[in-house]
Amino acid sequence: MLRLTKKADYGLMALKYLAEQAVLTGKTGSASAQSAKDIAEAYHIPPQLLAKILQTLTRQGILVSHAGTNGGYALARSAAEISAFEVIRAIDGPLFITSCITIHGTCDLAGHCTIKEPLRKVNDSIKELLSGITIADLAEPQDTAVPANTLGGGLVSIAL
């Protein structure tokens, strides 16, 4: 089963929280900085794990950190400019659904493999789908009920 790691899940949740807080307060940048403690408490995320995730996202340029009494973390760019794929890749590294598709090339069975190309297409489709979902999309109010054929709270949709 294809599944996000807990780290990637927590990273997306943290960015969603930061985007929502910026909208609620009407502030951006350092004015909207939120503490790791507040984020961890809001989503019941282990604080030490969240701190590592936020540091990783800061190193990757997705977040900015602000020191001081009113410090914390804020989005480095608009929530509409940060994709779910970018966040997942920053935390988990490159996305490959099988071991035959790697950053270093192909596997030993490449000459005889009959599923490499279809799996590459699946991998590319997942990348494209996640690249089209932004943090702003995740932070939008959920006023309507989720259709029965939607998985992941609307993140992935499968037509039946």
Is 43 domain-assigned? yes
Model pLDDT for residues 67-119, shown as the tens digit of each residue: 887 789 999 999 999 999 999 999 998 877 666 655 555 666 667 777 777 87
Residue 59 within any structural domain of the chain: yes
CATH number for the domain including 20?
1.10.10.10
Burial of 92 per CB tally in 10 Å (0-12, 13-18, 19+): middle
Is residue 135 pLDDT above 70, yes or no? yes
Which residues are CB-contacts of 29 (< 8 A; sequence separation ≥ 6)? 64, 74
pTM of this prediction? 0.77
Residue 122 lies in a domain: yes
Look at residue 146 and tell me whether its pLDDT is greater than 80: no
Domain that holds residue 81: 6-157
> For the segment 26-75, what is each residue's pLDDT rounded down to a tens digit?
766 555 789 999 999 999 999 999 999 999 999 999 999 988 877 899 99
Domain membership flag for residue 116: yes
C-alpha dist (Å) from residue 111 to 100, 107, 121, 136, 159: 12, 9, 18, 43, 34
Give the pLDDT of residue 114: 79
The answer to whether residue 146 is domain-embedded is: yes
Q: Which of 107, 104, 108, 62 is nearest to 83 (CA)?
A: 62
For 85-89, 121-125, 151-155, which range has the lowest pLDDT when averaged over its residues? Answer: 151-155
Of residues 104, 82, 98, the one with CA closest to residue 15: 82
Number of structural domains found in the chain = 1
Alpha helices, H only, the chain: 6-25, 36-43, 47-59, 84-92, 116-131, 135-139
pLDDT at residue 158 tops 50: no
Is there a domain that residue 1 lies in?
no
Residue 143 maps to a domain: yes
